[in-house]
Amino acid sequence: MTVKTHKTKPPRKRRGGFGSKQEQRFAYLMLLPALALVLIFRVIPLIWGFFLSLTNVDTLGNGDWVGFANYARAANDPTFQDSLINTVILLATLPIWVMLPMLLAILIHQGVPGGKFYRAVYFFPAVLSSVIIGAIFSVVLRYDGSLNNMLGAVGIDAIDWLGSSSNALGSLIAVQLWSTFGMGVLIFMSGLATVPDDIIEAARIDGAGFWQRLFLVIVPSLRPIIEFVAVVTTIGVLTSMFGLIYVLTGGGPGTSTTLPEFLIWLEQGKLNRPGYAAAISMILFVMMGGIAWMQVRIMSRNTNL
């Protein structure tokens, strides 16, 4: 007599890691508002801007399709070339924009007396608009302003901070750095809160001095934060200095403080050439994407940060 045995089927494995189909549909439904905002306010304007850059229309809609003539024009435009040179000079100062807030955040984190006060003072400029900051420093940096009065009190001749081609861009960069590095301090303070104190204490017990602990323990632990601040700062300095330029220098003297974002406004609002302004916008967009991509690639390969 034989006994029949029934084979039991193994339990089915769930596909994917997002739960049931209903849960997946609900997740996608929750993403729709954000995706719609990105599509409406980012993707569609970007596509429209690219097509606009291929025309020579004015603000009234008069014009023709010119293809890539605006891009060829930009390549031969001395003003645009000067704006790119100014951009290169600005980007060369980026290590200061990253290292200064990081060092200040580390000093505050190490227990410098009055740390909470310094944290508030450093962050305060970040809540002011660029127009207000520009108005303040237009008084501070003018030839008969308070800074030159202070220098004169110690026997130093007055300096034309904003009216000299050799000083204007540096002054503009210094003001922008003052107004934004507080946000970097706050970000690095948040990153330092994730660094285990026992690792730093172990390095101190092993005889590591402050600078050794900084470069061998703290900085490597902050590498993701450094990458984030570097990328965000790069995008910020390329797209958020219009207010300062407009109030402090107007792009001058000459073109010494003209950056691509200011030139875009000049071509669009003053010279009624939105097609050419759109072409410069596309070039600036590609520049920002390329620079950010290179920063991430370089820093992700450097495991000794």
pLDDT at 34: 87
Q: Which two tokens stand for residue 122?
A: 């450093």
Strand, helix or coil at 158? coil
Tell me how many degrees the CA angle 180-185-190 measures, rounded to the nearest 5. 135
End-to-end CA, the chain: 76
Note the residue count of the chain: 305
Query: Are 106 and 98 contacting, i.e. CB atoms less than 8 angstroms apart?
Result: no
Cβ atoms 267, 47 nearer than 8 A: no
Q: Is 186 exposed, middle or buried (0-12, 13-18, 19+ CB in 10 A)?
A: middle
CA distance 247 to 16: 55
Q: To 10 degrees, the CA torsion angle through 294, 191, 212, 93? A: 40
CA pair distance 76, 94, nearest whole angstrom: 28
Residue tagged 């861009």 (tokens): 169
Residues 26, 21: Cα–Cα separation, whole Å: 9
With a CB cutoff of 8 Å and minimum separation 6, the contacts of 137 are 175, 248
Q: At what angle do helices 223-239 and 94-109 cross, to 10 degrees?
A: 130
Note the pLDDT of residue 5.
Answer: 53
Tens of pLDDT, residue by residue, the chain (305 residues): 455 555 555 555 555 455 678 878 888 888 888 889 988 988 898 899 899 999 888 766 777 888 899 999 999 999 999 999 999 999 899 889 989 998 888 888 877 777 777 777 888 888 888 889 999 999 999 988 899 999 999 988 899 999 889 999 999 999 999 988 888 888 898 888 888 778 877 877 877 777 788 788 888 888 888 888 888 888 888 888 999 999 999 998 989 999 999 999 999 888 888 999 999 999 998 988 888 788 777 766 654 44
65 DSSP β-pair partners: 55
Domains, the chain, in order of start with CATH, read 78-301 (1.10.3720.10)
Q: Which two tokens stand for residue 263?
A: 């030139």
**Amino acid identity, position 195:** V
What confidence score (pLDDT) does residue 280 get? Answer: 93
Closest CA to 232 of 177, 190, 292, 192: 292
Phi, psi of 273 (to 5 degrees): -130, 70
Strands, DSSP E only, in the chain?
Answer: none
Q: Which of 115, 287, 135 is nearest to 186 (CA)?
A: 115
DSSP string across 57-82:
--TTS---B-TTHHHHHHHT-HHHHH
Residue 1 is predicted with a pLDDT of: 47
**Residue 82 phi, psi (nearest 5):** -65, -40
Residue 274 contacts by C-beta under 8 Å, 6 or more apart in sequence? 52, 57, 58, 59, 267, 268
* H-helix or E-strand spanning residue 176: helix 165-192
Which residues make beta-bridge pairs with 55?
A: 65
**How far is Cα 178 from Cα 171, in angstroms, rounded to an integer?**
11
Kindly tell me the sign of the dihedral angle through the C-alpha atoms of 120, 237, 301, 289.
Answer: positive
